[in-house]
Amino acid sequence: MTSDVRTEIRNLVLNHDAEGLALRLPKLTDAERATVAAELPGLLAELRESPAADWDAFGWTADSQVSARSEVLMMVGAATISGPAGAATWLMKRDLNSRWSGAPSPHRLVKAVSGRPMAWRADLAVRLARRIRRPGDRIVPLALELLRDSEATPPDHEPLVAAWLSAVGVAKDPLTPHLLPKIFEAAGAGRALLNETLTPKPSRRLALVARTLPREQIITGCVSRFLLGGDAQDLRFFVRLHTLVAPTPEESAGRLRDYLRLLPAAPGPVAELAWQQVRRARLAPEDVAEAVEAMTFRREAKLAVKGLTWLDRDLSTTPERVTDHVTALTNAFSHASHEVRDRAVALTLKYADHVTDPAPILDAAELLPPASARPLFECFTEGWTGDFTPGRLPEATVPGPFPTSGLESGPPEEIGWIDVEAWLAAVTREAYTNPDSLRETLARRFGEHLRPVLYDAPAWQSPRDWCTALARELVNPGEDPGPPGSRPPRRLPPYRKTVSEEQRTDAEQAFPGLSGDLGQALYDGMVNVAAAAFQLFPGLRRIVPLHEMPDYVQEEMLRTTDVQTDPYDLHDLYDPKARPAPAPWNRLPHPRECARPHAFLLARLDELLRAAKAGALPPVLLATPTRADGHLDPETLLNRLAVCAESGCEPLPLDLEQALLRIAPDPAPDLAERAKGIGSAAAAAVARRFERGAPPTPEVKLTWTLDLGSRVVPYDDDVLDQRGIANVSWQPVAPTGLAHLDALLTAPGMRPFRRVSRHFWPGMMPHHRELAAAHLAIGLIDRFDPPDIAIDDLRNLALAEGTSGPATALVLAYFLTLEGDDAVPPLLQLAAKSALPAAKTGHLLGLLSHRTRYEADPALPSLELAAKRGAHAEVWTILRHFLAVFLPREGERARRLHTDAVVLATDIATWADARGELPEVATHAKKRGSTSLIRACRNLHQLLTRET
């Protein structure tokens, strides 16, 4: 008999027969239960060792045979294990509750244990209920069903309450009398009841609570729950329940202190509810003051306005109590809402005659905009005349002299462009005058800074790499083996069609499942495709070095591709048809990969490295600046030309071009004759530059487009919620005849891929600020992430000389939206030089807010700071053009930022004594209504159109 029971239960388990087990397990005798329970560990071990073979509806295999049969195993264990504690442990086993196993049917499991005594089942139900941790636990339906079936008293366990509320409801649930009163204390109960609604009629749980629990218990429970705290979602159900019960004034009278405690910090719906209770009660004067102060302290404008309305009603009969409400009024002065601030100012002036100590009011008035604070100062300060007087613009910063030493600073730790330029000048000078000492210094500083991949890199993108290579060349001449593509390939036998053993081995490794002719054919096809790719895209050899490929692959490449021809020579940028002879040692990146100034800088470094390899470094560099902004003194340039001429060495061509770019546009007339007297070709070029003057700065044009994926179209202002792209371009100017310099003056056809050395750029063209800004602005506002540009670039632009236009304005507007106050010093510097493009900056600030993800929020306080420091006239110009673009158009929703901008403009217009109607402001000022924006526009309009 015993053997038959074991076999019977085993077969039911292996066949997944849960229904059969639900019928059979309750009928087991105590002896049969013990027998089956003793077999469970062996059956579980057998199933664990069996391979997974079951698949669910999504095509995932079960973890094991155990998880596939978790429900039937849970039924057998719960029905046969002797003690409730052991049964609960079995039901919670990890194997039986894996993520792959389905939830057990609570009805079948309850039926399986129905043969156990009622007390045993109640004990099991309580134990399982205590193990609930969250409403989503797999054990929740089973624990609840066991509690109902066994008529057990649920344990005092908070997660059980939330789980019960989240589970499917049961009509006439026996658990309701036990668990429903606990919803006011149980954590998670409010979140479980989040979706209960009050309208159009109370939902099931809401109506159940109101129908089941006494009113007094509900009101007390709700208030206690509010005092416990929580966010709005946690308390939403209790707010609706409190509203449904609607306590009478008599019922609320004993809880007024609790409602007052909720006013300052409870979530908005709770504070609204508490306000409704206290406003109907008879409160002592000190309680009214406390309530109003709490309401004006809140950030919600609606509640703060209600508090001020209550304050006005209280003072209308007893105006002498205004002293009790000073804190409430000063709280409102710092509120974010213009409506709240304006009401507070109006109420303060209304009851000003009863204010005995105006000092707190005057202190708090400093937080108000000047236009709002003026009436308070006029009212409470005798003889007050005072408009705010902005400071004076600071003096324009005069850059200091350029440092003359640099061997112990600069590379290999690249700190900034000044350090690199000073280091290059020092290296060149010492290489000519004291090469042995220079070699020792460079060996000490660069001995540990040779990156292992430096010489294996096909191109050097960073100035640091070029400086390191220059130093290493001066320490160990000839150590650079050249770019990978120009090195002699390893063993290149004549091209042959026969298949080598190396090819067969590679083919077998590439296609391990194929052998013979098919695998070899596939591998040969791969080699042919690679050879064709290298022929069509020569730049691939800079990513996959030729010398690292198998010999027979090198054969195919050399047979089909002229690998010695260097397609990356910088001259392709200027005249693609005039390809120069192949240049060895060329590690310059392709011009289309990097910005024009970066290409110019790297070409200068390449020129220096080539001269060092040839032993032809000049005695001095011409282009080293004499001032920290990059300016080069013309007389110093002539002295350096004379040194080169005396040594019989002609200066390096790109060094000369950079020097010409750094001298002032209009040098002294006699310098041209001095230059001609030097007698070198370079001096003659400098003389021509002195006679002709500097090349004109291109006129930069800024346009906007939309990238719609398949096409690019001009930006249409009627298209909202589309991110635009700012395109910077300029027309070519008359060529100078110097290829690299002409490249800088020519707008690139596409956004550069790399902008590594952008902090060099303003110092490369210190008298062409707008040109440097144009290169920085290319790709600045794009649909992709912005390029690597920092606030120091704006500071360097502000130090530069020359005209300012839309490119400078775009960079300034960009940093005003991004960096805030850090953009103020460069703005003041430009204003001090009378070089601030204020109108264009304001216009672009508005466009950035409309057309891009950059908002004007950080810009407004920064503009106010700049105005206080003396740039009030310039800031007014910025704001005037900003408002013309930024204010909401017809059909566009007004935001608080619009009002903030108009309020700030009103203050700045007062400081700048501005006049003249702004059409966009006048349009809003003449609208009906009393919104914050309309009132602010009316104030500004009245200020601008007032009589002189």
Final residue of a domain: which of 519, 544, 560? 560
**Is residue 73 domain-shared with residue 62, that is, in the same domain?**
yes
Residue 746's pLDDT band (cuts 50, 70, 90)? confident
**CB proximity list for 582: less than 8 A, separation 6 or greater:** 564, 565, 566
Range(s) of the domain holding residue 412: 404-482
Separation CA 821–CA 842 (nearest Å): 16
Q: What amino acid is encoded at 924 in this protein?
A: H
What pLDDT, on a 0 to 100 scale, did the predictor assign at position 720?
57
Q: What is the pLDDT of residues 339-384, one digit of tens each?
A: 888 899 999 999 999 998 888 998 888 888 777 888 888 888 876 6
**Is residue 14 domain-shared with residue 104, that is, in the same domain?**
yes
**Is residue 548 domain-shared with residue 502, that is, in the same domain?**
yes
Instruction: Give the number of domains in the chain.
Output: 5
- The per-residue DSSP string of 637-652 comes to HHHHHHHHHHTT-PPP
Tokens 């204003």 belong to which residue?
831
pTM: 0.66
Final residue of a domain: which of 440, 455, 482? 482
**Is residue 472 domain-shared with residue 497, that is, in the same domain?**
no
Q: Is residue 705 part of a domain?
A: no
Contact (Cβ atoms closer than 8 angstroms) between residue 780 and residue 724: no
Contact (Cβ atoms closer than 8 angstroms) between residue 391 and residue 824: no
Q: Is residue 210 part of a domain?
A: no
Pairing verdict, β 725-730 and 700-707: antiparallel
**For residue 226, pLDDT beyond 90:** yes
**Is residue 439 domain-shared with residue 528, that is, in the same domain?**
no
**For residue 853, pLDDT beyond 90:** no
Contact (Cβ atoms closer than 8 angstroms) between residue 632 and residue 659: yes
Q: Is residue 140 part of a domain?
A: yes
What pLDDT, on a 0 to 100 scale, did the predictor assign at position 239?
94
**For residue 506, pLDDT beyond 70:** no
Q: Is residue 741 part of a domain?
A: no
Q: Is residue 609 part of a domain?
A: no
Final residue of a domain: which of 445, 461, 482? 482
Contact (Cβ atoms closer than 8 angstroms) between residue 838 and residue 880: no
Q: Is residue 612 part of a domain?
A: no
Q: What is the pLDDT of residues 393-427, one digit of tens each?
A: 888 888 889 887 777 777 766 668 888 899 999 99
Q: What is the pLDDT of residues 574-610, one digit of tens each?
A: 333 333 333 445 788 877 777 888 888 889 999 999 9
Residue 624's pLDDT band (cuts 50, 70, 90)? very high
**For residue 646, pLDDT beyond 80:** yes
Separation CA 294–CA 688 (nearest Å): 77
Contact (Cβ atoms closer than 8 angstroms) between residue 461 and residue 521: no
Q: What is the pLDDT of residues 143-182, one digit of tens each?
A: 999 999 988 999 999 999 999 998 888 888 899 999 999 9
Q: Give, in order, the Cα–Cα distances in Å from 556 to each of 492, 532, 563.
A: 10, 9, 11
Report the pLDDT averaged over residues 844-870.
Answer: 89
**Is residue 825 domain-shared with residue 913, that is, in the same domain?**
yes
Tell which wins on pLDDT, 541 or 723.
723
**Is residue 381 domain-shared with residue 429, that is, in the same domain?**
no
**Is residue 500 domain-shared with residue 478, that is, in the same domain?**
no
**Is residue 37 domain-shared with residue 9, that is, in the same domain?**
yes
Q: Is residue 25 part of a domain?
A: yes
Q: What is the pLDDT of residues 55-77, one digit of tens each?
A: 443 333 444 677 778 888 888 88
**Is residue 42 domain-shared with residue 146, that is, in the same domain?**
yes
Contact (Cβ atoms closer than 8 angstroms) between residue 368 and residue 341: yes
**Is residue 446 domain-shared with residue 534, that is, in the same domain?**
no
Burial of residue 7 (CB within 10 Å: 0-12, 13-18, 19+) is: exposed
| 243-257, 564-578, 810-824: least confidently modelled range | 564-578
- The per-residue DSSP string of 411-471 comes to TTS---HHHHHHHHHHHHHHHHH-HHHHHHHHHHHHTT---TTTTT-S---SHHHHHHHHH
**For residue 259, pLDDT beyond 90:** yes
**For residue 54, pLDDT beyond 60:** no
Residue 697's pLDDT band (cuts 50, 70, 90)? confident
Q: Is residue 38 part of a domain?
A: yes
**Is residue 433 domain-shared with residue 506, that is, in the same domain?**
no
Report the pLDDT averaged over residues 184-212.
Answer: 90
Structure tokens given for 247: 């306590």
